[in-house]
Amino acid sequence: MNNSHHISIAEPVNENISSGENLSFWFEAMDQPLSYEVLNSDIKADVLVIGGGIAGLTTAFCLAKEGRKVVLVEDGFIGSGESGRTTAQLTCALDDRYFELEKIYDETTAQLAANSHMKAIEWIANTVKQHSIDCRFKRVNGYLFLHSSDTKETLEKEYAATK
């Protein structure tokens, strides 16, 4: 594997710091948002990644690790969209509930969704460890609470679906 990572990141086109009205903790805690040199000439790359959120950054990172020359462009600051507005919690719980997936599809599909979430969290844990990323990653207990529109039956059905 080629250990030289080729990621070029372009400067934001505008001054939007977040796609929402509220500034997240991540930006409030920084002296200034991450910004990089403007891409002002043609550049040859194997892959162009559009968007500097968690999906775009992860895609660029993985491709670069595999030896691809990657260019990432972002019209805001790195993490300035939805990714910058998250709490950075990782969970296997779904907003749409596993029992709903079972009802729409089947038990196998719901299990596939659960496994994909668990594998993603494991990938993040391994990446943090492998690259000594100082991000305070730690595993903690998770709890599922009822939304005001939920009933006790909702929680019971979700519990049964996750067994």
Cβ–Cβ under 8 Å, residues 80 and 33: yes
pLDDT attached to residue 17: 52
Q: What is the pLDDT of residues 8-46, one digit of tens each?
A: 444 444 455 545 556 666 667 777 767 778 888 999 999
Distance from C-alpha of 12 to C-alpha of 7, rounded to nearest angstrom: 16
Q: Please count the other Cβ atoms lying within 10 Å of the Cβ belonging to residue 140.
A: 7
Q: Which of 46, 54, 69 is nearest to 123 (CA)?
A: 54
Q: State pTM to two decimals.
A: 0.75
Element (H, E) at 114: helix 107-130
Confidence band of 63 (pLDDT split at 50, 70, 90): very high
For the CA atoms of 162, 128, 50, 19, what is the dihedral angle to 10 degrees? 70
For the CA atoms of 87, 27, 138, 161, what is the dihedral angle to 10 degrees? 20
Q: Please count the other Cβ atoms lying within 10 Å of the Cβ belonging to residue 141.
A: 4
Distance from C-alpha of 117 to C-alpha of 11, rounded to nearest angstrom: 32
Structure tokens at 116: 């994909």
pLDDT attached to residue 4: 47
Parse the chain into domains and list their residue ranges. 6-85, 98-161
Structure tokens at 144: 């599922």
pLDDT attached to residue 111: 94
Q: What is the pLDDT of residues 108-162, one digit of tens each?
A: 999 999 999 999 999 999 999 999 999 889 999 988 888 888 899 998 999 889 8
